[in-house]
Amino acid sequence: DSGVTQTPKHLITATGQRVTLRCSPRSGDLSVYWYQQSLDQGLQFLIQYYNGEERAKGNILERFSAQQFPDLHSELNLSSLELGDSALYFCASSPRQGAFQETQYFGPGTRLLVL
């Protein structure tokens, strides 16, 4: 158990809808990262938040957004969903600003299926 929690575990929705994925980092960790794992793209970095502020951005679509709250949990919002958004979404956390030296510990993931 990494100490990172994600809810829900599974999510089934329809095209055009909007969903919110939630992540709680390990106790004491200030950085939260979101990754998408799909069959064709593999594991890809989406976005990072550090202590409430966006710190780094990867291959995140404009339809997607995230935020980190004062209690350090984070939410990833996916809107206008398309079939291709079906994937496993991981959250990870690390202790500090997420400099490349830090190890990222991953949550169990949220499996999203868009029908």
The residues binding other proteins (CB under 8 A) are: 2, 31, 33, 42-43, 45, 48, 55-56, 58, 88, 90, 92, 97-101, 103-109, 111
Is residue 101 within 8 Å of 112, Cβ to Cβ?
Answer: no
Q: Which is nearer to other proteins, 10 or 14 (CB)?
A: 10
Q: Would you call 24 helix, strand, or coil by DSSP? A: strand
**Contact partners, residue 99, CB within 8 Å, separation at least 6:** none
Q: Which is nearer to other proteins, 40 or 62 (CB)?
A: 40
Q: Which is nearer to other proteins, 18 or 57 (CB)?
A: 57
- Residue 11: CB minimum distance to other proteins, A: 14
Which phi and psi (to 5°) does residue 49 adopt?
A: -120, 140
